Structures are given as structure tokens and as C-alpha cells.
Amino acid sequence: MKRPLTIRLCGPRGFCAGVDRAIQIVVLALKKYGAPVYVRHEIVHNRYVVEGLQARGAVFIEELDEIPPEHRDCPVVFSAHGVPKSVPADAEARSLFYLDATCPLVSKVHKQAMRHQRLGRHVLLIGHAGHPEVIGTMGQLPVGAVTLVETEEDAMRLARPEGEELGFVTQTTLSVDDTAGIIRALEKRFPDIKAPAAESICYATTNRQDAVKEAAPGSDLFLIVGAPNSSNSKRLVEVAERAGAHRGLLVQRSSEIPWDEIGDISTLGLSAGASAPEIIVDEIVDAFRERFDVTVELAITAVETENFPVNRVLRDVELTSADMAFVNGSA
């Protein structure tokens, strides 16, 4: 006889509008121009999505010099995380045709940073070193114009560049609570520091963290579907544990669930990072149904209706129902 298990399924979860748009751009480019379509860096941080696009004819590269000379006329797509200004400049120097899939909310942070600089401020970027979004945001401004701040300790140690005002922006996928602590530390240290004109952490990050906070208290285990290099997914694991889950775990597929280690659980929290498709959430629920008598409870804290249009040059291409199922993560 199967043991009873309540799954608290979070909403919103999974794909956000920026991820949906980025995947759609690659699929539309493949339909309009044919394979190969080159993609600089993972279009989003999810192996299932990357492999699905590879099967359709996308070729993933890290740098533009990997594109063979005979494929110079093929499109190259820049990932949703954004790129430094040097990347489109390099593409133009190589006479490459590129499509920018940068999330509009990341582009907004770029503009916030550039506005700070235009007003004569040294920019403090709250974020994680080495993350593609951070590299892209820092690359919007000249070398030395941006200082990265990762922790409250960094904020308290920071020395103001002589004679300069300060302004801050943040990576879009951070922990809301951690970021608030860093901002408080910066404002305590530098009372005249200027905030961006609008919130930098994106709506999808905030919404997914709020839903996890709702579902976490009393959960024996909290699974987050996401990749180990996905910042927003890793933050969800941290949020779950801080909000009362006994244990949080990041998995990419049901095959990664450590069945021998999960113990005698009765309540499971389940959510997915913004680049994780719904089909994997379904796969995980089905895997638990095979082993437990499952009851699903919904923990819904918001309803998302955002939609970001694709590049104008791709708007004349129509997607089939199968294409749309892949784009929205249900296939």
C-alpha cells in the first residue's frame, strides 16, 4: 500500500515571459532561415531546452569566432541573459547577422546602469560574479565604471571612488531578502547613494520566491526544478529552506531525485525556476505518483500575464501547435 503524500505545487513556477521569448526567437529563426542557427551561450539555463533546440538545428557556441566562415550568413542569437556591448560590436565587425534575445527586464537594468553613469555616478552592481547577466551588465559601461557587490560584507568594506556619487542596480534573479539586506547596508554606509528608477529584480523572480515562501513551512522536502548554473533556481532552494522547509533540493529531472535518501516524507514542496519547462514538473509529479498516494495542493500567490514581443524581423513567421508546445515548456 502506498504511503500518502501531499505535494504543494507552487504557482507561478517555470517559464517566465523573458525565457518564453528567448526560446521563441530561436525556434522562429530556425523556421525562417533554416538550420543552423548559432546561439551564443545557453539561450536559457536548462539542459532539456538546449537539447531540444539542438535537435531542431541550433548550434550552441561560447564565442563568435567558433562560427565557421562558410556559415557567416547564418543567424546568431544572443542569450536571454544579455551580453556586453563588445559582443554585438564584434558581430558587426565580422559581418554577422544577429538577433538579440536579451530579456527586456535585463535590458532595463542595462539602461538603469547607463543612466547612473550618464548622471556622473559610479555604479554598484549587486550580483554574483561570473554570472552571464552580471558580465553583460558590467559590459555596458567602460572598465572601472562598475563595482560588483555580492554580499553585505562587501557593502560594508566598499570604499567610495574619490569624488564620485554612487548609484546601484541589481541582477534580476537574486534573492529578494538577501538583496534587501545588501541595499540596507549600502544605504547605511552611503546615505546619498541613488537607487534605480524602478525595481531591478524581475517580477518572475519575486513571484516564484513568494510562492515558495507560501508552500515551504512544514514541508519535509522541497524540490526545485532547475539547472545548477541557474541563479534564480538556486535562490529558490535557499528561500525554501529559510521559509521552513526541512530540506531543499535542486534537480534537473526526476532521475536525479535521491529516492533512497528522502526518507519518510508526508509533505513535498515543488516549484521550478524560470528556465525550467512544465513538462519536467509533470514528470516529477508522475514519479512521485508511482511511489506514493499523491494529493496535489496548489500554492498560488500571483497570476502572470506578461508577454514580451519577439524581434520585428521574426514577427511574420507562424508557429505550429507543436512549436508552441515546445516554446511554452509543455512538450
Active site residues: 133
Residues contacting residue 257 through CB under 8 Å, at least 6 positions apart? 223, 249, 251, 284, 287
Residues 323/31, Cβ–Cβ less than 8 Å: yes
Cα angle 208, 247, 257 (rounded to 5 degrees) comes to 85
- Distance, in Å, from the CA atom of 35 to the CA atom of 32, rounded to the nearest integer, reads 9
What is the spatial distance between Cα 254 and Cα 16, in angstroms, rounded to a whole number?
Answer: 22
> To 5 degrees, how large is the angle CA 171–CA 53–CA 138?
20
Query: Grid coordinates in use for 290?
Result: 508511482
Cα–chain center distance at 282: 20
Beta-sheet pairing, 221-225 with 267-272: parallel
Q: How many Å apart are CA 209 and CA 245, to the nearest integer?
A: 13
Beta bridge partners of residue 222, listed in sequence order: 248, 269
| Distance separating alpha carbons of residues 325 and 15, to the nearest angstrom | 12
Nearest to 24 by CA among 87, 83, 99: 99
Tell me the C-alpha distance between 151 and 165, whole Å: 21
Q: With H, G, I as helix, E, B as strand and everything else as coil, classify residue 267.
A: strand
- 90 phi, psi to nearest 5 deg: -65, -40
DSSP state of 305: -
